[in-house]
Amino acid sequence: MKSIIPSFEIGMTAVEVVAEIVRIHPKIEALGFYVYAPHYNIMESRKIPLLPHLLYHDPSKKVVGLKRHEITAEKLNQIIASFQNKNLVLAVLSKKK
């Protein structure tokens, strides 16, 4: 199998880094992206986090699934630009749903 050379550069955006990670790792078939409005996390708001807070995931949030060929910086930027609420952000899910 041909080796793929990474092309990371100082100053890349997070979207560009995600797209590059997918490009250089052919085993990544798809990724899920979570759309949400950020707020203080548990570690910022409490000295000792409570377990129920750490385990909580809001099921009302939108998840966008993209196949490998769809995961480009341009596509991710299009998704972000389409948010009606400009306070929303796009996060990469750590597990495929």
pLDDT of 50-69, one tens digit each?
Answer: 555 555 555 557 889 999 99
Q: What percent of the chain is modeled with pLDDT above 70?
A: 72
- Span 37-53, average pLDDT: 60
Range of 52's domain? 14-92
Q: Are 91 and 34 in contact (CB under 8 A)?
A: yes
Residue 1 pLDDT level (bands cut at 50, 70, 90): low
Task: Flag whether pLDDT at 89 surpasses 50.
Answer: yes
In a domain, 97, yes or no: no
Tokens of 82: 């389409």
Q: Tell me how far apart the alpha carbons of residues 7 and 20 are, in angstroms, rounded to a whole number.
A: 7
In a domain, 6, yes or no: no
In a domain, 7, yes or no: no
Q: How many CA atoms, within 13 angstroms, populate the side-chain half-sphere of residue 18?
A: 23
In a domain, 64, yes or no: yes
pTM exceeds 0.85, yes or no: no
> Between 61 and 89, whose confidence is greater?
89
Q: Is 32 left (phi over 0), alpha (psi -120 to 50) or beta?
A: beta
Counted domains in the chain: 1
